[in-house]
């Protein structure tokens, strides 16, 4: 690790706070004021709401809100599936690609509607421009906005007293899209194009190389999609190798901007939460807990990758940093990113439910690769997905105040609300459902013939590939130990993981918001456990480690730990 590399990482953290804080305040304004930015935008908003026949003034209770989310998502799934299947007969298909096979379309549909972007397809040679633009890119916006809307509703629930409603889904959805995602995406797109990311409707370019070969170069409206795939914690690439491909991520600067875009909105949402519930210090503590886990991930992954793998050391090639190279485990990594920028990205993308990668995870060292694996398993709550990260963190916060309540022998409270049996049950459901599903699905995939057929690297690493696949899909991340292959079994099984992994916690969070909205606030007393101090940070990180961390540990010993010992 060089001072330079560490400098880049520290600057990243600094930029995250400096940009995230004002963005968070802006988002609080967007969700909480009738006219966030000017009459003109407000009248466009009203026009849209009239067009879709939504009544802006009719607030919904959590059940009605959740029902609208479900109907909207199911209907959008059908459209997305249809576009992929029929792309061969539709327009905007300059490279004459055929319809996507049914099991791949199904998985991809689930993957994009749930804000996951797990890719069983190879971008540039499977999806037509129409599928990429009208199908996948739309979901990059919409699935992100759904998560953000739900978070806004849950946070409102926490902030309100004795209220029956949590907001209007259509208003929240529209505002997430138009006031937050769209402007940010436009800014990031322009920066990326300036760095060399293509943005064109022309098809492949053909080059005649210096030594007489022919090289086909895939292009397309790449930059606009990459911008939103990072901002919306989606992660699905235009190209198969995702953000490792120079056309998605050409320079050190583009890499920094994309990496910032990955965590920007989730980080800002913590500050938004602080503003909306009027608990600024508490929000900082939540941010601190997230940041601590993030930093820990980098501190484990980076030295492991820089140290390199046993194979490279045995071969005797030079893996020492310095004298014109970054060295380390360069397997499936790019020269312009080196170790520091690749390891930081790996941690950021797995903390957020982003899943885009700028280097191959399958080729990481056992220790380095275990970091994203564990990060996913924590339920994508370390910053996490847009919206889903913070509402996922609420489950752990409730468990933490519950544990604290048990210790002092009082009814637990959070932000002035009594936490009772119903909230604990919902928090436990939200926090434990997905990890349980990951373990069960991995177990099934590892003992059945159809499950084993997907494995690319045999032996212990194959187990890790399988675990990662269900970990990633269930937690709606989308990154992969990419050797793990698509079969009709793995694609269909994955589809189940994707939908349940998204909507069970989402509904649990909404129910939690609804339940808290109905409560009265109780005044702070001497016995109240303070959630705005460092003790709370320690407790919160501890609760995350004890619940998700302990659940993944046995599986971890079967995968990366054994491999690390062998290696």
**For another protein, which stretch binds (CB under 8 A), given 355-363, 416-424, 500-508, 532-540?**
355-363
Nearer to another protein, 162 or 209 (CB): 209
Largest CA distance in the chain: 80
Which of residues 143 and 531 has its CB atom nearest to another protein in the complex? 143
For another protein, give the closer residue by CB, 252 or 549. Answer: 252
- What's the min distance (Å) between Cβ of 114 and another protein? 16
Of 466, 227, 477, 467, which is closest to residue 348 (Cα–Cα)?
Answer: 477
Coil, strand, or helix at residue 413? strand
Please identify, using beta-carbon distances, which residue of 221 and 385 lies nearer to another protein: 221
What's the burial of 197, exposed, middle or buried (CB within 10 Å: 0-12/13-18/19+)?
buried
**Contact 327/319 with Cβ under 8 angstroms?**
yes
Residue 168 binds another protein (CB under 8 A): no
Residues 61-120 that bind another protein (CB under 8 A): 67-68, 71-72, 75-76, 79
- From 114, 234, 358, 547, residue interacting with another protein (rule: CB under 8 A): 358
**223 is a contact residue toward another protein (CB under 8 A):** yes
What lies within 8 Å, CB to CB, of 295 at 6+ separation is: 13
Nearer to another protein, 150 or 460 (CB): 460
Tokens at residue 488, please? 């009709």
Judged by CB under 8 A, the stretch of 19-27, 178-186, 263-271, 388-396 that binds another protein is: 178-186
Site for another protein in 11-30 (CB under 8 A): 11
- Closest contact distance (angstroms) between CB of 519 and another protein is 28
Contacts to another protein from residues 138-157, by CB under 8 A: 138, 141-142
Q: x/- contact string, 479-498, with another protein (CB under 8 A)?
A: --xxx---------------
Per DSSP, the three-state class of 332 is: coil
Question: Residue 417: beta bridge partners?
Answer: 414
- Taking the least distance from each CB to another protein, the nearer of 24 and 369 is 369
Among 34, 38, 209, 421, binds another protein (CB under 8 A): 209
Residue 357: CB minimum distance to another protein, A: 8
Cα distances (angstroms) measured from residue 359 to each of 155, 262, 329, 355: 36, 15, 11, 11
133, 441, 506, 543: residue in contact with another protein (rule CB under 8 A): 133
Count CB-CB contacts under 10 A for residue 40: 8
Among positions 6, 10, 18, 52, the unique one binding another protein when judged by CB under 8 A: 52
Interface of this chain with another protein, residues 327 to 346, rule: CB under 8 A: 327-338, 340-341
Between 125 and 553, name the residue whose CB sits nearer to another protein: 125
Distance of CA 544 to the CA centre of its chain: 18
Q: Which is nearer to another protein, 104 or 277 (CB)?
A: 104
200 lies in the binding site for another protein (CB under 8 A):
yes
Cβ contact 522:417 at 8 Å: yes
Binding mask 395-414 for another protein (x = CB under 8 A): --------------------
> Could you give the string, one character per residue 360-399, with x where binding to another protein holds by CB under 8 A and - elsewhere?
x-xxxxx--x------------------------------
Using CB under 8 A, pick the residue from 32, 93, 251, 450 that binds another protein. 251
Task: Round the CA-based radius of gyration of the chain to a whole number and report it.
Answer: 23
Residues 430-489 that bind another protein (CB under 8 A): 456-457, 459-461, 464-465, 481-483
Q: How far is the CB of 201 from another protein (least distance, A)?
A: 6
Q: How far is the CB of 362 from another protein (least distance, A)?
A: 4
Binders of another protein among residues 496 to 555 (CB under 8 A) are none
The contacts of residue 152 (CB under 8 Å, 6+ apart) are: 31, 167, 172, 176, 387
Instruction: Closer to another protein by CB, 485 or 542: give it.
Output: 485
d(Cα 152, Cα 142) in Å, to the nearest integer?
Answer: 15
Size of site (CB under 8 A) for another protein:
127
Give me the phi and psi of 478, to 5 degrees please: 105, -10
User: Which residues ranging from 290 to 319 are in contact with another protein (CB under 8 A)?
Assistant: 308-312, 314-319
| Interface segment toward another protein; rule CB under 8 A; list 14-22, 104-112, 183-191, 543-551 | 183-191
First to last CA, the chain: 22
Q: Is 536 in a helix, a strand, or coil?
A: helix
DSSP 3-22: HHHHHHHHHHHHHHHHHHHH
Instruction: Please report where in the chains the tokens 């466009």 appear, as a residue.
Output: 44
Torsional class of 365: left (φ above 0), alpha (ψ -120 to 50), beta (otherwise): beta
Which tokens in the block code for residue 145? 């906005």
Listed ranges 18-26, 234-242, 389-397, 519-527: which one lies at the site for another protein (CB under 8 A): 234-242
As measured in angstroms, the least distance from the Cβ of 48 to another protein is 7
Give the Cα separation of 162 and 222 in Å (integer).
48
Q: Say which DSSP state 94 is in.
A: T
Contact 155, 141 (CB under 8 A): no
Q: Which of 163, 182, 538, 545 lies at the binding interface for another protein (CB under 8 A)?
A: 182
Strands (E), 183-284: 205-208, 214-217
Distance CA 69, CA 150 (A): 9
**Nearest CA-CA partner of 562 in 463, 439, 483:** 463
Q: Does 48 bind another protein (CB under 8 A)?
A: yes
């Amino acid at each position: 690790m060089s001072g330079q590399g560490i400098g880049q990482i520290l600057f990243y953290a600094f930029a995250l706070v400096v940009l995230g804080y004002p963005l968070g305040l802006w988002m609080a304004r967007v969700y909480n004021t009738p006219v966030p930015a000017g009459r003109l935008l407000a009248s466009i908003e009203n026009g849209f709401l009239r067009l879709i026949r939504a009544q802006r003034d009719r607030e919904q209770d959590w059940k009605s809100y959740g029902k609208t989310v479900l109907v909207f998502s199911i209907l959008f799934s059908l459209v997305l599936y249809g576009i992929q299947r029929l792309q061969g007969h539709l327009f905007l298909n300059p490279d004459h690609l055929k319809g996507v096979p049914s099991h791949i379309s199904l998985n991809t549909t689930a993957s994009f509607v749930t804000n996951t972007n797990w890719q069983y397809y190879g971008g540039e040679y499977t999806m037509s421009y129409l599928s990429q633009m009208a199908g996948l890119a739309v979901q990059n916006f919409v699935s992100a906005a759904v998560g953000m809307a739900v978070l806004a509703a849950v946070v409102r629930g926490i902030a309100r007293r004795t209220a029956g409603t949590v907001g209007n889904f259509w208003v929240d959805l529209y505002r997430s899209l138009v006031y937050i995602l769209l402007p940010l995406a436009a800014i990031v797109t322009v920066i990326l194009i300036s760095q060399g990311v293509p943005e064109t409707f022309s098809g492949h370019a053909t080059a005649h190389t210096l030594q007489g070969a022919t090289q086909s170069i895939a292009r397309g409206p790449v930059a606009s999609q990459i911008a939103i795939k990072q901002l919306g914690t989606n992660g699905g690439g235009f190209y198969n190798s995702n953000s490792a491909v120079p056309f998605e991520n050409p320079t050190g600067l583009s890499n920094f901007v994309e990496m910032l875009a990955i965590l920007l909105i989730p980080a800002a949402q913590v500050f938004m939460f602080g503003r909306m519930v009027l608990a600024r210090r508490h929000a900082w503590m939540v941010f601190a807990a997230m940041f601590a886990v993030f930093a820990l991930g980098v501190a484990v992954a980076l030295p492991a990758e820089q140290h390199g793998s046993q194979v490279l050391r045995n071969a005797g090639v030079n893996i020492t940093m310095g004298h014109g190279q970054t060295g380390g485990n360069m397997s499936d990594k790019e020269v312009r990113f080196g170790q520091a920028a690749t390891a930081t990205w790996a941690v950021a993308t797995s903390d957020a439910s982003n899943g885009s990668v700028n280097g191959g995870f399958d080729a990481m060292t056992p220790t380095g690769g275990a970091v994203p694996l564990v990060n996913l398993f924590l339920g994508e709550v370390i910053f996490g997905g847009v919206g889903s990260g913070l509402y996922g963190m609420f489950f752990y916060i409730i468990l933490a105040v519950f544990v604290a309540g048990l210790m002092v022998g009082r009814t637990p409270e959070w932000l002035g609300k009594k936490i009772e049996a119903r909230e604990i049950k919902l928090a436990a459901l939200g926090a434990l459902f997905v990890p349980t599903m990951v373990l069960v699905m991995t177990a099934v995939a590892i003992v059945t013939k159809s499950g084993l057929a997907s494995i690319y690297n045999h032996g212990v690493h194959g187990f890790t590939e399988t675990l990662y696949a269900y970990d990633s899909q269930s937690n709606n991340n989308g990154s992969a130990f990419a050797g793990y292959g698509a079969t009709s079994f793995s694609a269909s099984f994955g589809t189940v993981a994707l939908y349940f992994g998204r909507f069970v916690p989402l509904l649990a969070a909404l129910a939690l918001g609804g339940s808290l909205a109905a409560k009265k606030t109780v005044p702070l007393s001497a016995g109240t456990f303070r959630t705005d101090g460092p003790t709370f940070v320690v407790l919160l990180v501890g609760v995350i480690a004890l619940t998700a961390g302990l659940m993944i540990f046995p599986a971890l010993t079967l995968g990366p730990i054994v491999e690390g010992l062998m290696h």
